[in-house]
Amino acid sequence: MQWIKIFDRLFERASHLCGLIAAGCFLMMLVNVFYDVVMRYLFNQVSIGMQELEWHLFAAVFLLGVPYALRTDGHVRVDVLYEGWSDRVKAIVNMVGAIVFVTPFSLLVMYFGFGFTVDAFDLMEGSGDPGGLPYRWIIKSLIPLSSLLILLSGLGMITQALRVLLLGEKYAESHAKEGLA
């Protein structure tokens, strides 16, 4: 049963790293938007590259924030029902959800996203706008990477559910213990 804890900790750390990177991208996006607004309205200077960077950073925040939200129970679900359930029922629901929904979705997006990224790389796709950002394949590569990280978060949901079902742990304790509550 020790393997469950080892894998769970590995998945937890990967998801936590996603959250940290997403938070860093969010701060960079905030600075970028501030700079873009100041330059536009005070100095009448517009930068297509800075505007595209906002989109790229937003995509990174979203794509890397999803694995973190999934693992830390920050995702949308019917909490009105979920909160009243026992930890055992929550574990079964989380495990089934991870196996039936998260895993196939992430594998499908990873499969098609990889081809999408390879095509963008082969074309050395860049912005179609003058002054836009080159190498659009870099941000597109986050699609399959994010799907892999979502898969890891889903596997983390399964290992966490196994800890609850097999080891008798509680959900609230596992997040509080890691400092993620």
Cα separation of 29 and 22, whole Å? 10
Of 44, 42, 56, the C-alpha closest to 143 is 56
Percentage of residues of the chain with pLDDT beyond 70:
90
**Could you report the per-residue pLDDT of 83-105, keeping only the tens digit for each?**
778 889 989 988 999 999 999 99
Contact 38, 84 (CB under 8 A): no
**Phi and psi (nearest 5°) for 135?**
60, 55
The confidence score (pLDDT) of residue 29 equals: 96
Element (H, E) at 21: helix 2-43
Going through 22-152 in order, the beta strands assigned E by DSSP cover none
- pLDDT-derived band at 174, boundaries 50, 70, 90: very low
Residue 162 CB partners (closer than 8 Å, separation 6+): 4, 8, 91, 95
Distance CA 153, CA 179 (A): 17
Report the amino acid identity of residue 165: L
Torsion angle in degrees (nearest 10) through CA of 134, 48, 65, 110: -40
Checking if the pLDDT of 8 tops 50, the result is: yes
